[in-house]
Each structure stands twice: as structure tokens, then as C-alpha cells.
Structure 1
Amino acid sequence: MDNPNDVKELIPEFFYFPEFLENQNGFNLGQLQISKEVVNDVVLPKWAHSPEDFICKHRKALESEYVSAHLHEWIDLIFGYKQRGPAAVEALNVFYYCTYEGAVDLDALTDEKERKALEGMINNFGQTPCQLLKEPHPQRLSAEEVVQKLTRSDTSTLNLFQHLTELKSFFIEGISDGVPIVKAVVPRNQSRSFMSQGSPEILVTASLNCIIGTHGWLPYDKNISNYFTFIRDTTVTNPKTQRSMSGPFAPGLEITSKLFAVSHDAKLLFSGGHWDNSIRVTSLTKGKLIGQHIRHMDIVTCLAIDYCGIHLISGSRDTTCIIWQIVQQGGVPVGLAPKPLQILYGHTDEVTSVGISTELDMAVSGSKDGTVIMRTIRKGQYMRTLRPPCESSLLLTVPNLAVSWEGHIVVHTSIEGKTTLKDKNALHLYSVNGKHLSSETLKEEVSDMCVTGEYIVMGSLQGFLSIRDLYSLNLSISPLAMRLPIHCISVTKEYSHILVGLEDGKLIIVGVGKPAEMRSGQLSRKLWGSSKRLSQISSGETEYNTQDSK
């Protein structure tokens, strides 16, 4: 590493692929000549506890503020003004002359030996990239400068995961009074025309009594309110205008958030759990059934939609999973393809949770048989079975699972038949290649769970909202006590708020205590849409008293 004549470059695997550091196939790599020590796994530095820890810290270093602050210097050396000329000499950035673009015209050489000799030199030394810039590249803005710039904009929000010690909760009533909210989500890819910029997005709710709500939502605008603006859908309380999902659910089935999925443009609601084993597609704008797909042989127990909005996966009591393609017309989802893309087998009991990632070509399912199975989407090929560790002889089930952007699989397991909460529930983390990384015992029963960035957000039937670090599974802050069972949770696309649906029908909005504009002491206050009745608009002023769980 100290030899200036040896130019080293870290391959991409150093930043994403911990398996390359281990001799998992047990190849005979020989012995060291002096110590006779057997060569096996790569010896890691002392600051890395495992290959996964090494890769994680490596990537964090690459994406750190220090690297960002010096990124322009690297661009100057490789593509910029320090590649050639006096600036290159001063920066000790000079290479063999044959490596530079245009230094040698091979076509003009008539001597075949000279031509082959130069070609050999070029092949040996490589080629320097094209020089793209003749002037110094500007320095990237620091994280602090970016925050200050966003603060001056009209719609800047704060990432709640960067301000976990400053969270506040607010409640909204009048959506589903006395009836649990089982789904609350702000779809991430709502179509926005130039004329509609700044107008509210749609926040979708579904209640236990099948009532659907499409409410107005603005996470923050300094011209609107202190925290957020919620415009209640008036149809949810009017029996004449209420929109609902058609058809009853299967008798005895527990209605949870896993039975529902919303298209990313907020136009379609997919639902399972119906008595006829169907997956139903409901138009959120019209509140009418537009599709009914019966391919499972028993009740559909769980649904999940991928990050791209291309595929939907369903799990059933018939022990199978089905991957469906979401049909689009002009880039707008209009329903499900009539024929399943893949039918996946392998479980021996009811499928209770599913996850899907089109980018990683990975479908994951958990079952009452205590296993998690990984398969591919495009070919439906079986990859591996994960068996979460459990010391109890009682039946282990997998009520919830989630897949991160990078492919980490978070699995919630529960021991059936155990009457006490002690050691009944646990959280397990697996890598994209199925390696068990860590486990953590839980003190509560998880009702809903999602992975956002490097955090796991969980709600429990004991009424606790928990935020945990994805890699260590440790609590990032003390759980927030919501005082009532939580039925659903979701994180908004800006990472600005967590939406929590409670058993009594309240919608809890958790966000940073003070928005960016209020922090600067320049609070401008005006309600959007002055024609709206104040009873329909909540401006983040009704605080919900939560208690930190010690």
C-alpha cells in the first residue's frame, strides 16, 4: 500500500459483497511459506467484527461527508485539469505517455514491429480516461449547506431518522371513529403535473369495516402550517357517499394490514382475505370493484407490492405464493394480468407474510411452518430456505417479514401456544444471500413492520412504536407508547412522517418536533384552500401524548 509505483484500485465488491472475503467453498489455498499457516478467509482489520461489518463500514466511509467534500479533487485528477500539463506534474499525476488519448496514432505507423510494440505497451499500462474538464470542478455542498438550502425552500421536510430525539406525535380523528384503521399509506409515485405542484397528495386509509378514504396530505409547507396538513375525505363519514371494498372477508380471518396493498399512483387498492379466495382490485377514485382474480385454492392471507410498482405477490392458506404482473396503460396501473407470472411452492403450511424486490429479482415468503423461502421472480426458481433459530420445542411461525432496498431480510417470528410474552417473539436479520446475521428477542407482539433505509419501524399490539437499527437490530430510541394496539404503520416517501393506525380509529402522525422553517424563527402561517372548513383540515396542532417506554 505504500509503494507509489503500484496503483491499486478497490473493486466494487469491497462495498457491497461480504461473501468474497470468505472461503465458503473450502478451497485448498495452500499455506504461508514461513509460518505454515493455512490460507483461508481474508484476515480482516481489528475494527471489523465480521465480513458484513467490514463491507458496511467501507460503504459508509465511501458515502461519508469527508469523501463528499473531496470528491471534486478526484474528478480533477481523473477527468479534469490535473490530468495533463503542469497541474498534473505538480500533483504527481503523470503516467506513461502511451496511455493518454491521442498521444499515439497507431494508424499512421508503417513499421509493423513498432506498431505491435506500442500496442503491447498500451495493453500493459492501460489507458487514461478522456479529459473532460479544463477547469477545477466545483466542490460538492456539505450536508449542512444542503439542509440550509432546503430550509429556504417552500416545501422542505426534515428526515425524521436524522432527528430521532425530536419526534412528536399528533392525532387525527373523524376517519374511522371506534373502528380500527388497518391501512394508512401515502403512495410514493403519485403523478404530478406542472400545474398541480404544491397541491396535496393522496393519503389512503382503509378501516376494519371496509371503508376507504382518500385524504389530502402535505408533509410540510411553510405557507401552510407548522407541521403538516391533512384534509379529511368527507365521504368516510357520510353513509350516502362512503366508498367501500366489495364482498365480505372470510369468517374468522384476522384483518391486518398485510391483506392490503396500494398502487404507487394511489389509484388502485388490492385486497385479499375474501371468502371466495380472490384478490380484488378496487378503484380508489370511484370506490368500485374493477377486478377479481381467483387463482389460489384457499384464502389469500397476505399481499406485498414491489418498490417499482411492477409486481404484486400474494400468499395463501393453500401454502403457495403467486407473483402477479401489474398491468399498466400509458404508465398508469389499471389492474392485474389475468394469468399469474409465477406460482411458487415449497411451504407445508399457511403462508403468513410475503416480500418482493424486482430490482434484486427476489421473492420472499414466511409461513406457519416456521420457514422463510427465497425464490427468483423472473424464473420462479427456488434459491434457499431460511430457518430462524428457536430453542423452544413449540411451533414457530413467521407473522411478518420485510425486505430492504439492499436485500436484507428482516423476519419476525412468534412461538405458537406460548401464553406469556417473554421470549415469545423475536426479530432476525438475514443477508441477501441468506446468511443469518443477528437476532433480537422482543418484548411485544409485532402487528406491522417495514424497513426504511437503515431502519426498521415496527408497531405492536401492546401499543408501542419502535425504531431499530437495521444492522444491529438495537433500538435507536426508546419505543413510543401509543396507549392502544397498533394495527398498521407506514413511512412517507420523504421519510418525514410515520403514519400509525390505532384500534380506536385514530390516525397518529409522528414527525420531527419542529419543521425547518420554524427552526429559523420565521413562521409564516396560512391554511391552504381557505374555502375548506376547518373541521376538514388538521394542521398538525393536536398533539398526541406518547410516553417513552423505559
Structure 2
Amino acid sequence: MDNPNDVKELIPEFFYFPEFLENQNKFNLGHLQISKEVVNDVVLPKWAKSPEDFIFKHRKALESEYVSAHLHEWIDLIFGYKQRGPAAVEALNVFYYCTYEGAVDLDALTEEKERKALEGMINNFGQTPCQLLKEPHPARLSAEEVVQRQTKSDSSTLNLFQHLPELKSFFVEGISDGVPIVKAVVPRNQSRSFMSQGSPEMLVTSLNCIIGTHGWLPYDRNISNYFTFIRDPTVTNPKTQRSISGPFAPGLEITSKLFVVSHDAKLLFSGGHWDNSIRVTSLTKGKLIGQHVRHMDIVTCLAIDFCGIHLISGSRDTTCMIWQIVQQGGVPVGLAPKPLQILYGHTDEVSSVSISTELDMVVSGARDSTVIIHTIRKGQYMRTLRPPCESSLLLTVPNLAVSWEGHIVVHTSIEGKTTLKDKNALHLYSVNGKYLGSESLKEEVSDMCVTGEYIVMGSLQGFLSIRDLYSLRLSISPLAMRLPIHCISVTKEHSHILVGLEDGKLIVVGVGKPAEMRSGQLSRKLWGSSKRLSQISSGETEYNTQDSK
């Protein structure tokens, strides 16, 4: 490592792929010459508990404050003014001349031997990147400086996962009276224009069959309150209510897994209907625009990918189907007539699904206690995961989620067990299906999602929990919502968690703000005309949650 002529760099696998440190195929790699010890897995440093821990800490180091503070120095050496000339000599950053761009014109060489010799040198020594900068690159802002700038910004929102001890809860009521909210979500990329800058985005709620599209604005300095919520008046008026057409299957429990909203807030996809269909409803018109019957039994769960390209459906018929979301001019208009893939492997009702187009991965869980992974493009079976369970009773998979890096979080529940003790558990797997650990739960999970490095869960016992993705341990004490939670979702800027309760209240959880910033009312221009917004003030509607020990 101290030899200046021996240039080493870490391959990308050091930051995302723990499997490369293990000899999983049990190849015969020989013995050490002196000790005769068998060469097998890579010997890790003492600070790493496992290959996964090694990669996790490497990535943390790469994103650390120290690396950020010195990142500009690396840029200067590789792409900047220290790549060539006197500055490179002073920094001991001079390499073999053939590696530099433009140093050798191979096309101009007529002597074949000379040409091959130079090509061999270039192949051996590598190639120095293009020099992009002739002046020192500025240093990156520190985390503290970024926070200071954000607090001065007029439109900044605080990431609640960076301020977990400061969470507060507020409630919005009057959306429904005693009817559970089974879906509440702020869609990811809603269309905006220069005419509507600063106007509320759409928050979609579904109260069993009633659809509401409400106005939503997270906190910023232009808004005097913690958030702005503009209630959809059609929800409470029987004459103007928009509902999902067609009855649901008799006896089916209506949960958040039956509903998916397109990222532009224009379409609602729903399952659970009596005719085994997936229905597409226009949120703007409140009318049915598509009905797709391909499953042989009731559709029990739906999920959409992060890009809004694919939809996955699971059914009582034990199959899953991948659907292409049809777009016109970049706007989703419905589903393709036929599924892209039909996935098999389960022997009982599919109870939960998740999909990641970026990772080309579909994950499904069923009442047969199995979790199966398929690819999207080819529909190829990859592997089956069987979460550990000591009970002889039936183990089901009510919920699962996939992280950005492909970590699979599985919630299992033992059917027939009357007490909550050891009935529910969380299990963590790597993207390649390696079992990483489990954690017993004291409550029954009703909804779950993974955001960044955190798992957010709501339970029928009324607790909102935030857990660390890698250890599965609680990051803060659960927030007691006092009533069964039917749905949870995290807003796209990670500023709030939306929680739907059994009594119809919508709980909004986020980072508390000073009282002086939450007083008063908001008056702003919408579509060029001044309009007073009826809003829910955080100062008046704080929800009294109690920490669970």
C-alpha cells in the first residue's frame, strides 16, 4: 500500500456486494504456504462482524463527513488541476506518459511493433481520465452548513428521519365519520407548471369505496402552519362523492394493499373485486376507465414500482401478474390489455407483493409461508425464501417490502395463535436471498413500507413504529395512535408520515416546528387568483401520542 508505483483502487463491489467476500461455491482455492491453512472466505478486519457489516460500514465511510470534506481534493487529483503539470509533480500524482489523453496518436504510427508495444503499455498501466478542470475545485458544504442553508430557504422541508426525537403528530378530521381510511398517499411526480408554482399537490385518500383528492402542502417559510391540508368537499357530500365502481368480493377485508395510485395522481388501480378484475379509475373524473380480468380468483394485493412503469398483482389463484402501465405522452392512461408476465410458484393465496424495475425484481409472499423472487423482464424464477418459524402452525406473509438496495423485509404471522407473543416477526434478507436476521414483534402489522434506511410500520394495536433497516431494531419508541392503524405512507420529500386510522382520522407525523412559525393563516395565489385556503393548523390540531415503553 506504501509503494507509489503500485496504484490500487477499490472496486465498486466494496460498497454494495457482500457476496464477493465469500466463497459460496466452495471452490478449492488451495492452502497458505506457511500455515497450510485452507483458503476460503476473505478474512475480515476485527471491526466487521460479517460481510454485510463490512460493506455497510464501507458505504457509511464513503458517505461520511470526513470524505465529504476532502472530496474536492480527490477531484483535483483525478479530473482537476493536479492531474498534470507542476501541481501534479508536487502532489506526487504523475503516471506513465502513455496513460494520459492525447499523449500518443496510435493511428499515426506506421510501425506495427511499435504500435502493439504502446497498446500493451496502455492496457497494462490503464488510462488517466480526461482533465476537466484547470482550477481547484471548491470544497463541499458540511452537513451543518447544509442544514443552516435549508433553514434559511423559503421552500425547505425537514427530513423526519434526520430528526426522529423531534417528531410530533397532528390530525385531520372531517374526511370521514367512523369509516376507516384504508389508503392515504401523496403521489410521487405530479404535473406542475409555471402557473401553479406553490399550489397544493394532491393527496389521495380512499375510505373503503369513497375517493377523496385533497390539497396538500408540506411546511415551508411561506406557509405559516406546519402543513396545509385543503379538504375535498366531495367526500362528505353524498351527491358529489366519487366511489370505486363495482362491489368488492364478499367477506374480503379491505386493506391498503388493494389500492395503488399512479405517480401523477391521475389513476387509481384497485383489486379485491367480485369478478376477479383489476379496475382502473380516473381520479379526476371519478369514473371507471379500465377493467382487466385475467386472474382466476380474487386479486388480493397490488404494488407499483418507483418509476411508475410496472404494476404487480397477486391473487387467491396463487399467481402473480406483472402489468405494463400504458402511457401517452409520458402520462399514464391505463394498463396493457394482457399481463407482461404470469408468475407461478406459490401453493396458496398470494398475500403481499413488491416490485423494483431498477433491480429487475419482483417479490411475492403467500399464505403457504414462502417468499418467491422473480425477474421482471423475463419472468424468470430466481429463488424461494422460507422465513424461520419454530411453531408447527401455519405461517403466513401478510406484508413485505423491498429497499432501494434490494433488501427484502418480510413480516410473518402465525395463523391460529391466539396470543400476540411470538406471533408476529420481521425478517431481513439481502438482494440475493441471504438471511440476515429476525426480530420478534409485540403487535400485528397492518401496513409497512421501507424508506431509505428505515422501516415504517403501523399496527392494529395502534402503534406507529420506525425501525432501522439493517438491525430491525426500533429507532425511537413507537408512537401510540390509540386506534387501529389501517394504512401508512411516507411523503416523497420524507417530511411527513401519513397515518389512516379506523375512526376516519388522518394523522400527519413530522418534525415539530417552533410555535411562532405556525401561527396565523395562509393567503396565496392559486392559478393567478387570490384564494383563501381553509387549512388545518398544526397548532390547533396536535394529536396526543404516548410513547410506548
Whole-Å Cα distance in 1 between the matches of residues 87 and 533 of structure 2? 65
Whole-Å Cα distance in 1 between the matches of residues 178 and 299 of structure 2? 26
Partners of 2:225 and 2:537 within 8 A in 1: no
Whole-Å Cα distance in 2 between the matches of residues 69 and 425 of structure 1? 44
Distance 1:285 1:453, change over 3 A: same
Whole-Å Cα distance in 1 between the matches of residues 427 and 150 of structure 2? 37
Structure 1, 18-27 or 224-233: larger mean CA deviation:
224-233
Distance 1:451 1:218, change over 3 A: same
Distance 1:202 1:292, change over 3 A: same
Structure 1: stretches of 5+ with no match in the other structure: none
Structure 1, 288-297 or 207-216: larger mean CA deviation:
207-216
Q: How far did 1:538 drift?
A: 4.2
Q: How far did 1:86 drift?
A: 1.0
Partners of 2:225 and 2:520 within 8 A in 1: no
Deviations 1:391-415 (A, max 9, x none): 0000000000011111111000000
Structure 1, 164-173 or 537-546: larger mean CA deviation:
537-546
Distance 1:107 1:413, change over 3 A: closer
Structure 1, 392-401 or 102-111: larger mean CA deviation:
102-111
Partners of 2:515 and 2:539 within 8 A in 1: no
Distance 1:540 1:403, change over 3 A: farther
Q: Match of 2:281?
A: 282
Whole-Å Cα distance in 1 between the matches of residues 105 and 502 of structure 2? 76
Alignment identity in percent?
94
Q: How far did 1:537 drift?
A: 4.4
Partners of 1:211 and 1:243 within 8 A in 2: yes
Partners of 2:411 and 2:424 within 8 A in 1: yes
Whole-Å Cα distance in 1 between the matches of residues 419 and 191 of structure 2? 47
Distance 1:453 1:100, change over 3 A: same
Which runs of structure 2 are paired with 1:203-282 in the superposition (5 Å)? 203-205=203-205, 207-282=206-281
Q: How far did 1:153 drift?
A: 2.0
Whole-Å Cα distance in 2 between the matches of residues 525 and 420 of structure 1? 53
Whole-Å Cα distance in 2 between the matches of residues 138 and 81 of structure 1? 12
- SS for the counterpart of 1:536 is coil
Normalising by structure 2, we get a TM-score of: 0.96
Deviations 1:459-499 (A, max 9, x none): 00000000000000000000000000000000000000000
Partners of 2:522 and 2:533 within 8 A in 1: no
Q: How far did 1:390 drift?
A: 0.0
Whole-Å Cα distance in 2 between the matches of residues 369 and 328 of structure 1? 36
Partners of 2:372 and 2:384 within 8 A in 1: yes
Distance 1:116 1:309, change over 3 A: closer
Q: How far did 1:4 drift?
A: 2.4
- SS for the counterpart of 1:107 is helix
Partners of 1:157 and 1:516 within 8 A in 2: no
Distance 1:105 1:295, change over 3 A: closer
Whole-Å Cα distance in 2 between the matches of residues 536 and 512 of structure 1? 18
Partners of 1:410 and 1:430 within 8 A in 2: yes
Distance 1:109 1:414, change over 3 A: closer
Deviations 1:104-127 (A, max 9, x none): 344444555444433333332222
Structure 1, 272-281 or 449-458: larger mean CA deviation:
272-281
Partners of 1:179 and 1:209 within 8 A in 2: yes
Whole-Å Cα distance in 1 between the matches of residues 330 and 290 of structure 2? 19
Distance 1:220 1:38, change over 3 A: same
Whole-Å Cα distance in 1 between the matches of residues 541 and 57 of structure 2? 41
Structure 1, 119-128 or 416-425: larger mean CA deviation:
119-128
Partners of 2:498 and 2:506 within 8 A in 1: yes
Distance 1:291 1:519, change over 3 A: closer
Q: How far did 1:73 drift?
A: 0.7
Whole-Å Cα distance in 1 between the matches of residues 515 and 541 of structure 2? 19
Deviations 1:7-55 (A, max 9, x none): 1011111111111000000000000010000000000111111111111
Distance 1:151 1:248, change over 3 A: same
Whole-Å Cα distance in 2 between the matches of residues 46 and 522 of structure 1? 57
Partners of 2:29 and 2:40 within 8 A in 1: yes
Partners of 1:228 and 1:540 within 8 A in 2: no
Whole-Å Cα distance in 1 between the matches of residues 104 and 18 of structure 2? 41
Distance 1:524 1:213, change over 3 A: closer
Whole-Å Cα distance in 2 between the matches of residues 526 and 152 of structure 1? 22
Distance 1:498 1:4, change over 3 A: same
Structure 2: stretches of 5+ with no match in the other structure: none
Structure 1, 540-549 or 115-124: larger mean CA deviation:
115-124
Q: How far did 1:144 drift?
A: 1.8
- SS for the counterpart of 2:123 is helix
Partners of 1:152 and 1:517 within 8 A in 2: no
Whole-Å Cα distance in 2 between the matches of residues 118 and 323 of structure 1? 52
Distance 1:328 1:108, change over 3 A: closer
Structure 1, 522-531 or 158-167: larger mean CA deviation:
522-531
Distance 1:529 1:118, change over 3 A: closer
Deviations 1:343-384 (A, max 9, x none): 111111111000000111111110000000000111111111
- SS for the counterpart of 1:75 is helix
Whole-Å Cα distance in 2 between the matches of residues 70 and 186 of structure 1? 38
Partners of 2:160 and 2:167 within 8 A in 1: yes
Partners of 1:181 and 1:503 within 8 A in 2: yes
Q: How far did 1:243 drift?
A: 0.6
Q: Match of 2:28?
A: 28
Distance 1:46 1:118, change over 3 A: same
Whole-Å Cα distance in 2 between the matches of residues 114 and 405 of structure 1? 49
CA RMSD of aligned residues (A): 2.4
Q: How far did 1:131 drift?
A: 1.5
Whole-Å Cα distance in 2 between the matches of residues 435 and 173 of structure 1? 44
